[in-house]
Amino acid sequence: MSVQFPPSAAPLAAHPVDVLPAPVRSRLLEMARGAEPVSAYVYDAEVAAGRARELRAALPDWAAVYYAVKANSFPGIVRALAPHVDGFEVASVSELELALEAAEFAETPAVVPAVVPAVVAAGPAKSVPVLTALVRARVEAINAESLLELHRISRIAVAEGITARVALRVNPADIPISGSLHMGGAPSQFGVAEPDVPDVLAAAGKLPGLDIVGFHIHAASNNLDADTHAAYLRWCVEWSVRTAAATGIELRHIDIGGGIGVAFEGETPFDMARFGELTALVEPPVGVKVVLEPGRFLVADCGWYAAEVTDVKASYGEWFAVLRGGINHFQLPTSWDIVHNVAVLPVDVWDAGEECPRPAAEHTRVTVVGELCTPEDTLLRDVYVERVRAGDLVVFPNAGSYGWEFAMHAFLGHPVAGRQLL
């Protein structure tokens, strides 16, 4: 059986080269003059900071923007975001350390947090070492995934002489909103099923060392509709208020997760201004913070992945551009089964010592593949190109999120893709 993912890009043509900002083109061409084949991420930190400022400005004061570090953990990007977000969402000790370092780096955070550090922590299988680090750091909220995790947090907090702030992650039975949301109620490793919430909270209330501050509900994914996302936020607030009242929780914290979508080619981008207008109509109780955890939305368009074309060849009537890189550097198009279009950046320097003429594909459809020994190492299929030659660079825009972090770095042992700021 032949591998047929990601989906065919036909009838799309590759982006014109001017889709790449001039500073990006300049940096990549400079890299192409080096001794090593290019395979690297280039990031513009100001693009990410600008996106964060725009979202923060659109929201009311009771809403807080926490950057989900998993989307792009490059230290330069995390530091650049620190002055423009209210905190960070982390899922490991490594991400916690990045967030704490970035919080110190930021001289003027967007909003001075009531709890330092302004960090919330998520993840379905937090180990005891991870929970210990979070408790010791006195993070703003640990999103607890189960009764066992609550017991572990309690034991660690008591041993440390600390009261740990905890939000219970909930898998809701249903979210009465249509649109591109992942609805609740499905079996999942994430959170506590809604019918079990009262019993889990009752048990948690008897544990020492815990301060149950609210709820974490992350049921949205890649939603491009501002109206439904605002309705989702409203539903999370109303559900949390009702449930806190019914279970005796002093509600101070509602985490709605991320889920703001990033538009691919042909899709309409998320309307931030509209989302802000609708969100402002929601009225959480006084003293309750509503946390949004955008990751991909803040950083997707701040990065470009570029790889040198090591070869261009035809096979049974189909053309292939073979890269110095692939899913070991940029796995997103294959794993998410999406069309992620590219631009071809011509590199006119060609090694005159090459005995074979410079291979090229012109005015035809090309499949872009990587250097790994598997047909799954396919990044883009059937895209029309005016010309692509060995030695040119294939560049993927909108590669700032789940790029380097999501790749198969160790497979075959090729060098890991570089990362740098403009």
Is 236 marked active-site?
A: no
In whole angstroms, give the CA distance from residue 46 to residue 421: 10
Rounded to whole angstroms, the Cα distance separating 205 from 210 reads: 8
Q: Which residue from 109, 99, 85 is spatially nearest to 137, judged by alpha carbons?
A: 99
Nearest by Cα to 178 from 216, 242, 223, 243:
223
The CA-atom distances, in angstroms, between 229 and each of 51, 140, 185, 294, 392 are 18, 25, 18, 12, 41
d(CA 229, CA 147): 29
- DSSP letters for 339-399: ----EEE------TT-SS---EEEEEEEEEE-SSSSTT-EEEEEEEEEEEETT-EEEESS-
Interatomic CA distance for residues 390 and 79, integer angstroms: 37
- Which phi and psi angles does 334 have, rounded to 5°? -75, -45
Return d(Cα 160, Cα 209) in angstroms, integer.
9
List of E strands, 141-264: 141-144, 164-171, 192-193, 210-216, 253-255
CB 191 within 8 A of CB 149: no
Local structure of 87: helix, strand or coil: strand
Instruction: Give, to the nearest 10 degrees, the angle between helix 226-247 and helix 197-204.
Output: 50
Question: Alpha-carbon distance 86 to 174, whole Å?
Answer: 29
Which of 236, 302, 356, 373 is the catalytic position?
Answer: 373
Number of continuous H segments (helices) and E segments (strands) in the chain: 11, 17
Residues designated as active site: 373
